[in-house]
Amino acid sequence: MKSKTLRVWDLPVRLLHWTLAGSIGAAWFTSERIGPLHEWIGYGAVAIVAARLLWSFKGNAYSRFGQFVKPPRTTVAYLRAVAGGSAERHLGHNPAGGAMVVALLVCVSLVGLSGWAATTDLLWGYAWPVRLHAALAWLLVVLIAFHIAGVLLAIWQHRENLVKAMLTGDKKA
């Protein structure tokens, strides 16, 4: 007997997730040769973030930030449960995942903003905007590592293939 599945992540959320991941990878690989390609990839990443924010008002219930962004107290309690091996399963993002979504989207936005700012006439030639951009890019790498570690931990704790779910949109009910 097959287990029943539910459509959790709709197509726009999945496409935005994977195109953002791809654009971040492309930006990283073009970061040694700063130029128009790197800049346009960065603008694309910021546009994807903007589209994701807009979709949070239009998408299904699991696409909406109100469904998965929880207060800090709830997120900390969830992390304690994770550490104790007793974290409950969530159909959509768990509270830690919700916090990570916000952190990643904010960080991508700040990387894009700082990259753009470094190219303006006002800040052109100063070292600090470039250093800020690089520091934020490294922070993004750290956040991505934590994101992947959290996904792997959730896969292990709940015996559920979250990568497949982010490709198909479906999770076990």
CATH of the domain at 130: 1.20.950.20
Distance CA 80, CA 124 (A): 46
pTM for the full predicted model: 0.92
Residue 40, both tokens: 């346009």
Contact 46, 53 (CB under 8 A): no
Query: Given this model, what pLDDT does residue 173 score?
Result: 83
- 68 CB neighbour count, 10 Å cutoff: 21
- 45 CB neighbour count, 10 Å cutoff: 24
Query: Given this model, what pLDDT does residue 19 score?
Result: 98
Looking at this protein, which amino acid is placed at residue 86?
Answer: S
Average pLDDT score over residue span 82-100: 92
Number of domains in the chain: 1
Query: Given this model, what pLDDT does residue 2 score?
Result: 61
Window from 104-113, 127-136, 139-148, 152-161 with minimum mean pLDDT: 152-161
Range of the domain at 81: 5-172
Q: Is the pLDDT of residue 3 over 80?
A: no
Q: Is the pLDDT of residue 34 over 90?
A: no
Contact 105, 53 (CB under 8 A): yes
